Amino acid sequence: MKILPSVLLFCAALYGAPVHAQEPPASEIAARSWVLLDTQSGQLITGYQHDDKFDPASLTKLMSAYLVFDALKQKKIKPDQVVPVSEKARRAIGSRMFIQQDIPVTVNELIRGMIIQSGNDATIALAEAVSGTEEAFTARMNQEAKRMGLANTQFANSTGLPAPGHASSARDLAQLTAALIRDYPEHYPLYAQKEYRYNDITQPNRNRLLWRDPTVDGVKTGHTEAAGYCLISSAKRDNRRLIGVVLGAASDSARAAESQKLLNYGFQNFDTVRLYEPKQAATTPRVWKGTLNQVKAGFPQGLYVTVPKGQAANLKAKIESQQPLLAPLRTGQSIGTLKLELNGKPYYTQAVVALEDVPVAGILGRTWDALRLTLQ
């Protein structure tokens, strides 16, 4: 048993910087590693060994699905396209969809076999349809992991079957899941489907929380002897989504119970509040040598922050801008930092960016501002 650490706000280039921890709650999670992510704020609420590398087992298929969805979007494959079944796909070990070389199977059917039935055969067939070979597809998986900033992830295959060097972390898997939900919402409902029938064989979704909690709508289970029992779960309550990752639980029932505990902990003990609207001018700092004397600055997507329940009113914000701020400035350029305090202690930091371009002024304007700067 491990004690849940206190709120641990996600530190990555895409999100905010870390904060000071609070006293740990009494809840416990029985697993080798876990993490809980709020998708609105992009903050990690809690985690344990969340940057350590573990065998992800079939959680790997989330990246496989991400690339298949991308191939559909790019029209490299079509939903009703019939996919040839290779001998490699047909002979895949582990969980299977039971595809056959003499029975036509479409991309849509294979996607359901990969997501709902966790079919290794379906996943390999899709990988070959997208990239020609599973090896080429796996190379693309690693390229995408690098693009997403998944620093502790390396794939050796498309399925999650044990292989040397095949690893990921709870944080990386939470990020990957958030990206899949955000980028492909039209496909995400498949992860809530409770069963799928193919070739006269009906198989249930192994995510027990789909039957236990009506707010849970995904996402993926995984299990090998090395990985233990793993589950990425996601729930949406009052328009707020949390993603929980539990790696290395002791049993199928344990991964479900621990994941439920993790989700409930986040919803019951934390609020996510909006501090700034999208493209709202949070500050208008002075600009020198530009066509404008001030620049609107803020957060293009708005800014949400996750805080312990009932503590939002105790947040205090301070924005520090770079000075002197010289033109030219381009939209999206970092020009300062938002620093939040909670109850007088540093809590969260986030880059503040320009919300508009500021071109360089003419020679007279630049000369006048240069003179004024020397007199300051």
What angle in degrees, to the nearest 10, is found between the helix axes of 170-183 and 61-73?
A: 20
Active site residue 233: no
Per the residue annotation, which of 33, 41, 58, 158 is the catalytic one? 58
> What are the tokens at 243?
């993603």
Q: What per-residue confidence (pLDDT) applies to 27?
A: 53
Q: Which residues pair with 54 in a beta bridge?
A: 168
Q: Which 3 state secondary structure label does DSSP give 187?
A: coil
For residue 295, give the amino acid letter: V
Q: Which 3 state secondary structure label does DSSP give 172?
A: helix
C-alpha torsion angle, residues 266, 168, 12, 49 (rounded to 10): 50
The rounded distance, in Å, linking the Cα atoms of 206 and 345 is 43
pLDDT tens by residue, the chain, 376 residues: 333 333 443 333 334 443 333 333 435 899 999 999 999 999 999 999 999 999 999 999 999 999 999 999 999 999 999 999 999 999 999 999 999 999 999 999 999 999 999 999 999 999 999 999 999 999 999 999 999 999 999 999 999 999 999 999 999 999 999 999 999 999 999 999 999 999 999 999 999 999 999 999 999 999 999 999 999 999 999 999 999 999 999 999 999 999 999 999 999 999 999 999 999 999 999 999 999 999 999 999 999 999 999 999 999 999 998 889 999 999 999 999 999 999 999 999 999 999 999 999 899 878 886 888 888 7
The per-residue pLDDT for range 131-150, each reduced to its tens digit, is: 999 999 999 999 999 999 99
Per the residue annotation, which of 33, 41, 61, 64 is the catalytic one? 61
Three-state SS for 59-77 is HHHHHHHHHHHHHHHCCCC
Q: What per-residue confidence (pLDDT) applies to 300?
A: 95
Contact 227, 248 (CB under 8 A): yes
Q: What per-residue confidence (pLDDT) applies to 167?
A: 98
Phi/psi for 138 (5° steps) reads -65, -35
Domains delineated in the chain: 2-272 (3.40.710.10), 277-375 (2.60.410.10)
Per the residue annotation, which of 33, 41, 64, 118 is the catalytic one? 118
DSSP 241-263: EEEEEEEEESSHHHHHHHHHHHH
What's the alpha-carbon Rg for the chain, to the nearest Å? 24
Phi/psi for 27 (5° steps) reads -60, 150
Q: What per-residue confidence (pLDDT) applies to 7?
A: 41
Q: What per-residue confidence (pLDDT) applies to 273?
A: 94
Q: Which residue has the tokens 């990239």?
A: 131
Active site residue 251: no
Contact 33, 24 (CB under 8 A): no
End-to-end Cα spacing for the chain? 60
Q: What per-residue confidence (pLDDT) applies to 322?
A: 85
Q: What per-residue confidence (pLDDT) applies to 374?
A: 86
Q: Which residue has the tokens 């002791």?
A: 250
Q: Which residue has the tokens 């479409």?
A: 106
The per-residue pLDDT for range 33-58, each reduced to its tens digit, is: 999 999 999 999 999 999 999 999 99
Active site residue 61: yes
